[in-house]
C-alpha cells in the first residue's frame, strides 16, 4: 500500500492534463483539501481551469502556487513506461509531470494536510493557487487569478511556487527572480534581381549578415549580482522562396533576448534601432515582450527556505534567476515575497520524466518545514 504522498502524485499523473486541459486534477486537489477546512473558489477564465483555495482568514498568508498542466509526452515509443501510468522502478517514479510539476503539487498538498492535522490552530492562513495553463499562452491562468485577488484585496505575504528549480542535486537552487523575454520578428528589405547582375539588385541576405554580426557583438548589459548578462539569440532566418538565379527581395529574421533587470523593453528597442539604423536597408519590426524580469525581496521566506533545505538535505541552496519564465512573474507583482523551489529539472519536458522517491519525500518535508517556521 503506497503512502498518502505517493498516492496523490500517482492520481495526478494518471490524469492527462495536457495544456490547457486540466482533466480533473484540480477537482481532485479540491477534494483533498476541503476536508482540511479550505474554502474553494473556481476562477476559470476562457478555456483555462484555475482554482483558489484558502484555509484561515488571518495573515500571514502563505500561498503554494503551481500548474496542473503538463507538456505533451512526445514520441510514446521512446518512453520506457506509459507517461500517464506512473511506475516506480528502482526507487524512481516515471511519468509526465513527475518533475514539472505534479510532484511539487502532491508534496504541497500532503505537507499541508500533515501540518493542519498536527496543528489545527496554526497562525495565519494557507492558500493554493492553481492553473491549467502555465505551459501554454498563460494569458488566462495565474495572471487573471492575481488580478482577481488584487481586486478582492487579498494580500499575499509569502508565495512558494513549485517549479522544478534544482539543477544538479536536489535542493541546490532556489529561484528568486526570472529574466525577461522579448522576441522580435524583423523583415529586412533589399531589391529583387537577377543573381548574375547584382549591381542592379540589393541582396538583403548579405545585409542581414552585417546586421547579425553587430547584434551578436553588442554588449546589451553586464548582468548583475542576480542576473547573468542579457543574451541575444536568433531562432530562424528565412528569405523569399525564389529561383536559384535570383536575389530575393527580403529576408525575415526571428530572434529573442532573455534580459536582466538592468534593461527593459524600451531600452532594448532603442539599442536595436541604433544598431539597425547603420544598415542601409528598409525594415519592418514586430516586437513581443512576453515577460518582464523580476527579482523578489530577499526576506523571511527566502531565509527560512534556505535553512529548512540545509536541515533536510544538507544543501546550501543558491539563489538564481536562470532558466525560462514562469508564473512567478505574475505573482511577484502582488505578493510581498515570491520564490520558487522544487525537484530536479533535468528530466522536465523530456521522455522518461521522473523523480527520485527520496527527493519526493524530502520535498514534502521541506514544504512542511516552511509551514512550521512561518505559521507556528
Ligand atoms: Zn512548470
Spacing, Cα 348 to ligand 1 middle (Å): 8
Q: What DSSP string runs through 128-145?
A: EEEES-SSS--SSSHHHH
Task: Report how far residue 28's alpha carbon sits from residue 8's, in angstroms, rounded to the nearest whole number.
Answer: 9
Spacing, Cα 168 to ligand 1 middle (Å): 17
- What number is the average pLDDT over the span 214-243? 93
3 state SS of 14: helix
Q: Among residues 164, 126, 169, 160, which one has the least CA distance to residue 310?
A: 169
Where residue 150 falls among pLDDT bands split at 50, 70, 90? Answer: very high
- What number is the average pLDDT over the span 106-131? 98
- What number is the average pLDDT over the span 352-369? 98
Spatial CB neighbours of 315, under 8 Å, sequence gap ≥ 6: 169, 170, 171, 172, 309
Question: Comparing 4-178+293-375 with 180-291, is the CATH topology the same?
Answer: no
CATH of the domain spanning 180-291, picked from 3.30.70.2190, 1.10.3720.10, 2.70.150.10, 3.30.70.360: 3.30.70.360
Q: Which residues are catalytic?
A: 69, 134
More confident residue, 210 or 242: 210
Q: Among residues 86, 81, 70, 62, which one has the least CA distance to residue 20?
A: 70
Task: Report how far residue 363's alpha carbon sits from residue 340's, in angstroms, rounded to the nearest whole number.
Answer: 12
Instruction: List the grid coordinates of 346.
Output: 533535468
Ion ligand 1 neighbours, Cβ < 5 Å: 100-101, 163
Spacing, Cα 135 to ligand 1 middle (Å): 7
Burial 24-49 (b: 16+ CB within 10 A, else e): bbbebbbebbeebebebeebbbeebb
- What number is the average pLDDT over the span 303-318? 98
pLDDT in the model for residue 297:
79
Spacing, Cα 72 to ligand 1 middle (Å): 13
Percent of the chain with pLDDT over 90: 93
- Domain boundaries defined on the chain: 4-178+293-375, 180-291
Spacing, Cα 164 to ligand 1 middle (Å): 7
- What number is the average pLDDT over the span 321-331? 89
Spacing, Cα 47 to ligand 1 middle (Å): 19
pLDDT in the model for residue 1:
40
Q: Among residues 117, 148, 278, which one has the least CA distance to residue 211?
A: 278
**Enclosing H/E stretch for 193:** strand 193-194
Where residue 324 falls among pLDDT bands split at 50, 70, 90? Answer: confident
Q: Are β-strands 180-189 and 125-131 bridged in parallel, bridged antiparallel, or unpaired? A: unpaired
Spacing, Cα 273 to ligand 1 middle (Å): 34
| Mean pLDDT, all residues of the chain | 95
Spacing, Cα 282 to ligand 1 middle (Å): 40
The shares of helix, strand and coil residues in the chain, as percent rounded to the nearest 5, are 30, 25, 40
Q: Taking 70 as the threshold, does the pLDDT of residue 2 lie above it?
A: no
- How many residues appear in the chain? 376
In CATH terms, is domain 4-178+293-375 a member of 3.40.50.720? no
Spacing, Cα 191 to ligand 1 middle (Å): 45
Strands (E), 240-373: 246-247, 250-259, 282-291, 294-295, 318-320, 337-340, 354-356
Q: Taking 60 as the threshold, does the pLDDT of residue 281 lie above it?
A: yes
> What confidence tens digit (pLDDT) does each residue in 37-53 have?
999 999 999 999 999 99
- What number is the average pLDDT over the span 277-285? 97
pLDDT in the model for residue 332:
93
Q: Taking 60 as the threshold, does the pLDDT of residue 131 lie above it?
A: yes
Task: Report how far residue 201's alpha carbon sits from residue 219's, in angstroms, rounded to the nearest whole number.
Answer: 33
**Enclosing H/E stretch for 185:** strand 180-189
Q: Taking 80 as the threshold, does the pLDDT of residue 82 lie above it?
A: yes
Contact 327, 67 (CB under 8 A): yes
Amino acid at each position: 500500500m503506497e503512502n498518502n504522498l505517493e498516492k496523490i502524485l500517482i492520481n495526478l499523473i494518471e490524469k492527462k492534463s495536457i495544456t490547457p486541459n486540466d482533466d480533473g486534477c484540480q477537482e481532485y486537489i479540491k477534494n483533498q483539501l476541503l476536508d482540511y477546512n479550505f474554502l474553494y473558489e473556481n476562477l476559470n477564465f476562457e478555456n483555462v481551469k484555475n482554482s483558489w483555495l484558502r484555509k484561515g482568514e488571518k495573515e500571514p498568508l502563505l500561498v503554494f502556487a503551481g500548474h496542473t498542466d503538463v507538456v505533451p509526452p512526445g514520441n510514446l515509443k521512446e518512453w520506457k513506461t506509459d507517461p500517464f501510468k506512473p511506475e516506480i522502478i528502482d526507487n524512481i517514479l516515471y511519468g509526465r509531470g513527475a518533475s514539472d510539476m505534479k510532484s511539487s503539487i502532491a508534496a504541497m498538498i500532503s505537507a499541508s494536510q500533515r501540518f493542519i492535522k498536527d496543528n489545527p490552530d496554526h497562525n495565519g492562513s494557507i492558500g493554493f493557487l492553481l492553473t491549467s495553463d502555465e505551459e501554454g499562452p498563460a494569458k488566462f491562468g495565474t495572471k487573471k487569478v492575481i488580478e482577481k485577488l488584487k481586486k478582492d484585496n487579498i494580500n499575499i505575504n509569502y508565495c512558494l511556487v513549485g517549479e522544478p528549480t534544482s539543477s544538479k542535486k536536489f535542493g541546490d537552487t532556489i529561484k528568486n527572480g526570472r529574466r525577461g523575454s522579448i522576441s522580435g520578428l524583423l523583415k529586412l528589405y533589399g531589391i529583387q534581381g537577377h543573381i548574375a547582375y547584382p549591381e542592379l539588385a540589393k541582396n538583403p541576405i548579405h545585409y542581414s549578415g552585417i546586421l547579425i554580426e553587430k547584434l551578436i557583438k553588442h554588449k546589451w548589459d553586464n548582468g548583475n549580482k542576480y542576473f547573468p548578462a542579457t543574451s541575444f539569440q536568433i531562432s530562424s532566418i528565412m528569405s523569399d522562396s525564389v529561383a536559384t538565379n535570383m536575389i530575393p527581395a527580403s529576408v525575415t529574421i526571428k530572434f529573442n533576448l532573455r534580459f536582466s533587470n538592468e534593461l527593459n523593453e524600451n531600452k532594448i528597442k532603442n539599442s536595436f534601432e541604433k544598431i539597425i539604423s547603420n544598415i542601409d536597408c528598409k525594415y519592418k519590426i514586430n516586437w513581443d515582450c512576453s515577460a518582464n524580469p523580476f527579482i523578489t525581496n530577499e526576506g523571511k521566506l527566502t531565509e527560512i527556505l534556505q535553512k529548512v533545505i540545509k536541515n533536510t538535505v544538507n544543501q546550501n541552496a543558491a539563489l538564481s534567476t536562470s532558466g525560462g519564465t514562469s508564473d512567478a512573474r505574475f505573482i511577484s507583482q502582488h505578493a510581498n515575497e515570491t520564490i520558487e523551489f522544487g525537484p530536479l529539472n533535468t528530466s522536465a519536458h523530456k521522455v522518461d520524466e521522473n523523480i527520485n522517491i527520496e527527493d519526493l519525500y524530502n520535498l514534502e518535508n521541506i514544504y512542511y518545514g516552511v509551514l512550521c517556521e512561518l505559521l507556528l
